[in-house]
A and B are shown apart, each in its own frame.
Chain A
Amino acid sequence: MKGALAFAFLSMIATGVFAGEHPPLSHDKFSAPAQLYVMNCWGCHQPHGEGIAGAVPRLKDTVGYFLQVPGGREYLIEVPGVAGSSLSNAQVAQVMNWMLSAFSSDQLPTDFKPYTEAEVAKYRPHQLNNIGVVRARLASQLAAQGIKIPSD
């Protein structure tokens, strides 16, 4: 009798009669710009901007180089994933500045100035009809300075 009651009691706990559903274990919170990255870029560019060779451009130790050549500053805003995102211009500036400092601060020019909302608004409408050609041009400019970046 005692055994049957104990078994029934344990069953009730196991089936959630008393417990209900617990909140998730992870309560990690991101800073506002990091959250923009997680929700809009993380899925492809990877948690630390590693990218995927041959599929998704690498940001880590790379993206800052683009600001060292003419046209590179515009390029980072014109790329489809940024220009076509659902983020506002202010949010694009916020997440871009965060990415540059979080993933590639050592590659930034010494006179680096953070993007502003107005600057994003200026570059964003310009469509890159052939992103591969533009990237290759920037890559060759960087190569002339002795800097090698991944081809895609």
Chain B
Amino acid sequence: MDGIVERLTRRVAQRTSRRSFLVRLGKLALGGAMLPLLPIDRVTGKAHAQGYNEEHAAGEGGGETSCDYWRYCAFDGFLCSCCGGSITECPAGTVASPTAWVGTCKHPSDGRAYIVAYRDCCGKAQCDRCMCDNNQGEMPIYRTQLNNDTVWCFGSREMTYHCTTAVILGEKV
């Protein structure tokens, strides 16, 4: 028995290196760390494999490039986070519209409602990446100030819509 174990150990030691062992261990550890990035709703723990569609193609799991991100509950348009900008900043070459549509979203962790301003970035052709169409609290088009289908570039010198940001204004009382 000792002989068999010794031969086996020697063979493993001759054919593999400590470095490759560390590489494999590292891959295993990293793989484990990446598991939360899989398409799982962290709030409810519910998988979104069913109902997955093109609109939700980018970054499922609640990040700022995902339509499911809590701050986008009343978002209609292309995420600036996917278009070279960020959740609060317009991409280079566009201008932030002076007007904005205001909605309210509940934060999944603290359960509080926050007032969010959805501001369009204008001046370049539409981004066409990460299209999200969430309509919590939206009103029909004839209630313009509470409608998010409208291109909110008015008041800007540039009326071409590119993408939309989502900025927290404060906590709703």
Contact = CB atoms under 8 A, between A and B. Distances in A.
- Interface SS majority for chain B: mixed
Interface residues of B, number: 40
A35 B29 contact: no
Contacts of B125: none
B62 interface: yes
A11 B100 CA distance: 37
A26 B172 CA distance: 11
A140 interface: no
B49 interface: no
A116 to B, nearest CB: 23
Contacts of A31: 173
Contacts of B146: 86
Contacts of B172: 35
Given A26-B171, A30-B173, A40-B145, A20 B42 contact: yes
Given A21-B108, A42-B102, A55 B155 contact: yes
A41 to B, nearest CB: 8
B155 A35 contact: no
Contacts, number: 106
B138 to A, nearest CB: 12
Interface string B6-46: 00000000000000001001100110111011000010000
A17 B30 CA distance: 12
A128 interface: no
B84 interface: no
Contact of A20 (B101, B102, B109): B109
Contacts of A29: 170-171, 173
A27 interface: yes
A80 to B, nearest CB: 9
A81 interface: yes
Interface stretch (B52-60, B111-119, B128-136): B111-119
B168 interface: yes
Contact of A38 (B62, B99, B170): B170
Contact of B114 (A4, A8, A24): A24
Contacts of A1: 22, 25
Contacts of B29: 4-5, 7-8, 11
Given A28-B171, A43-B102, A85 B145 contact: yes
Q: Which 8 A-B pairs rank lowest in CB-CB distance, beginning with the nearest?
A: A8-B29, A28-B170, A11-B33, A52-B155, A4-B26, A23-B110, A12-B33, A55-B155
Interface of A: 1, 4-5, 7-8, 11-12, 14-17, 20-32, 35, 38-40, 42-44, 46, 52, 55-56, 81, 84-86
9 contacts: A7-B30, A16-B36, A17-B33, A17-B36, A20-B42, A27-B170, A27-B171, A29-B171, A43-B117
